[in-house]
Each structure stands twice: as structure tokens, then as C-alpha cells.
């Protein structure tokens, strides 16, 4: 085994260069704005659903300034079935801030990205690394699973621990910024397509010879687990989705009587509506009706 092959990055980077899926945001010349939009869309939404919607979004709003010039309501309408629409409001607010503070150019610095409304630690680091080549550890659920298995010998990562997770990834990053970017992307890809949560394909894994979990005989994970999300059917999320669908398709305020007819449980319906109003995803009252947020 050569010196390069004895390190995780020496194995993951060549594997990634040979096996990476040809995703739009990996194409040469893909804009930092496109990377930012893709990262927000990819939060809890499968890649296959994101790709066509990303293309539509960037065709309509090819820059932060283009989105900032439109209304938050249009951003929410365009978001449609991509998941929780609060992300659309966050993206619109970030576009406004980029236009006002950064001359319409997505900033490259992690701290400057974190200062944008609605941009969290993962998104800031991902944009800095993938759009600008900044050497910064980027950790998602797939990365954490690969590190838990290959480095720590555990079958699952357990609940997220931001500081420890970033330290684990930092320890694996090459010093070279370009290689660090490839390692960030490669470890994510490895967890997505090979080191699957349920059926890992160890025969296809570039880290198999170094994997502590494999060497230990694949012991069962007995540590703490992240809480599972409640069922969608009958949940407040379902009720919120029904209300949002009605608001997206309406040309004006939706009368309260229409909202009342969407869900029989009045207490749950009012709780869901109150949540949408508090999050800024809906405006109005029983007297005036309800609609998406305006300019």
C-alpha cells in the first residue's frame, strides 16, 4: 500500500474523480448563485427532484438580484413541492441581502455567508468550499455515516454533534484547498451511493481496506439515535401543506371559510395556520382572508 493509499483522502479523491455523478452543480463554470440555490433545495429533498426544479429556478432567476426584484410570494409559489417552503423565504431574503450588501455577488467567506438570513453552518461551508474552493470542512448526514464507520468503527453516526463532526472532517482534509474540496464532495458521494445506511456496498468502497467497522466485523450500533420524524399522515405538516397549496394556487386572499374546509380538526387546523403566520409564510386574518407574503 502506497503512502497515498494509506490515507482516506488518497483513496476517496481518485474514486470520486472516476465515479462522481454528473450533477449540474458540479459542472465547470456553474455559478456560486446556482450552488447556493442547489444547496438550499437539496435540504431534505432528493437529488432527482431537485435537478429539474433547479434548472427552472435559475432560468427564471439567474442571479440574486433577479430574485430580489421579485416578491417573496413568487419564490414560495415556485418552490411548490420541494419541501418546507420556509426555505424559499430564506432564499429570497438571502438574495435581497446579497444584492444590498455584496453588489449582487455571492460572498465567498464562510462568516459572510453565515451572516446572510436563513443560511446555516452547513450551507455556508458548502457554498464556500464547492463554489469558491475555500478549504473548510463540510459535513452532512452521508459524511457523518462514512466517518462513523470507516474512522470510528461504529455502524451509525448517532445524533449530530457539530463541533466533533467538523473536527472529524477537518482531520481528514488535505492541506491543499483544491484537494480539500474534492474530499468534501467525495465523502458525501461515497455515503450517498456506496456506504448506504441500510445496505452498504463494501465491495465497491475505496475505504474498505481502511474501514474500522469492517475490520471489527460490522458490530451492531448500540449508541444513541437521532429522533425519528413523526408520520406525515395526520400531522401538522400535512395540514400546513394543504393550506399552503391553497394559498399558492389562489389569485387573491383565500376566505377563512375555504381554509376551514381543508381540515376537520379545528384545533389542529388553527395551530397549523398560526405556525404559517408566525413563520411569515402567510399573511392576513379571518376578516381579510389569507394569502402568501407580499413584497
Domain boundary among 83, 103, 132: 132
Q: What pTM does this model have?
A: 0.89
In CATH, what number is assigned to the domain containing residue 67?
A: 1.10.340.30
Chain centroid to Cα 251, Å, comes to 30
Domain boundary among 88, 111, 132: 132
More confident residue, 2 or 71: 71
> Sorting pLDDT into bands at 50, 70 and 90, what band is 4?
low
Establish if 197 belongs to a structural domain: no
What percentage of the chain has pLDDT greater than the value 90?
Answer: 86
Active-site residue list: 39
What digits encode the pLDDT tens for the residues 154-208?
A: 999 999 899 999 999 999 999 999 999 999 999 999 999 999 999 999 999 999 9
Residue 5 scores a pLDDT above 80:
no
| pLDDT on residue 226 | 73
Establish if 192 belongs to a structural domain: no
What digits encode the pLDDT tens for the residues 55-77?
A: 999 999 999 999 999 999 999 99
Tell me how far apart the terminal alpha carbons of the chain are, to the nearest angstrom. 61
Say how many domains are in the chain: 2
Q: In whole angstroms, what is the distance from residue 173 CA to residue 134 CA?
A: 12
| pLDDT on residue 141 | 94
Domain boundary among 96, 112, 132: 132
| pLDDT on residue 232 | 83
> Sorting pLDDT into bands at 50, 70 and 90, what band is 1?
low
Domain that holds residue 245: 236-291
| pLDDT on residue 6 | 77
Establish if 206 belongs to a structural domain: no
Q: What is the mean pLDDT of residues 114-137?
A: 96
Q: Rounded to 5 degrees, what are φ and ψ at 188?
A: -60, -45
Secondary structure of residue 284 in the 3-state scheme: strand
In the chain, % helix, strand, coil (3-state, to 5) comes to 55, 0, 40
What digits encode the pLDDT tens for the residues 84-119?
A: 899 999 999 999 999 999 999 999 999 999 999 999
> Sorting pLDDT into bands at 50, 70 and 90, what band is 294?
confident
CB neighbours of 104 closer than 8 A, spacing ≥ 6?
A: 63, 64, 65, 98
Amino acid at each position: 500500500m502506497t503512502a497515498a493509499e494509506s490515507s482516506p483522502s488518497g483513496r476517496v479523491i481518485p474514486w470520486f474523480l472516476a465515479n462522481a455523478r454528473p450533477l449540474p452543480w458540479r459542472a465547470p463554470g456553474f455559478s456560486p448563485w446556482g450552488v447556493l440555490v442547489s444547496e438550499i433545495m437539496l435540504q431534505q429533498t432528493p437529488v432527482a427532484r431537485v435537478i429539474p426544479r433547479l434548472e427552472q429556478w435559475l432560468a427564471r432567476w439567474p442571479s440574486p438580484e433577479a430574485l430580489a426584484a421579485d416578491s417573496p410570494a413568487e419564490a414560495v409559489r415556485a418552490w411548490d413541492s420541494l419541501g418546507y417552503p420556509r426555505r424559499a423565504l430564506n432564499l429570497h431574503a438571502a438574495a435581497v441581502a446579497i444584492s444590498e450588501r455584496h453588489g449582487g455577488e455571492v460572498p465567498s467567506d464562510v462568516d459572510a455567508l453565515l451572516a446572510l438570513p436563513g443560511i446555516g453552518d452547513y450551507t455556508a461551508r458548502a457554498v464556500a468550499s464547492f463554489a469558491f474552493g475555500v478549504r473548510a470542512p463540510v459535513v452532512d448526514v452521508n459524511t457523518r455515516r462514512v466517518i462513523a464507520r470507516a474512522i470510528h468503527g461504529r455502524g451509525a453516526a448517532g445524533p449530530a454533534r457539530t463541533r466533533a463532526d467538523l473536527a472529524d472532517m477537518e482531520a481528514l482534509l488535505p492541506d491543499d484547498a483544491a484537494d480539500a474540496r474534492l474530499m468534501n464532495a467525495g465523502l458525501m458521494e461515497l455515503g450517498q451511493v456506496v456506504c448506504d445506511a441500510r445496505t452498504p456496498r463494501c465491495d465497491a468502497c475505496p475505504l474498505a481496506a481502511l474501514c474500522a467497522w469492517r475490520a471489527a466485523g460490522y458490530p451492531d450500533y448500540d449508541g444513541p439515535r437521532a429522533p425519528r420524524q413523526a408520520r406525515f399522515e395526520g400531522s401538522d405538516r400535512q395540514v400546513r401543506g394543504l393550506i399552503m397549496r391553497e394559498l399558492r394556487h389562489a389569485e387573491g386572499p383565500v376566505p377563512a371559510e375555504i381554509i376551514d374546509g381543508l381540515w376537520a380538526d379545528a384545533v389542529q387546523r388553527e395551530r397549523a395556520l398560526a405556525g404559517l403566520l408566525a413563520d411569515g409564510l402567510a399573511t392576513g386574518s379571518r376578516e381579510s382572508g389569507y394569502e402568501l407574503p407580499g413584497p
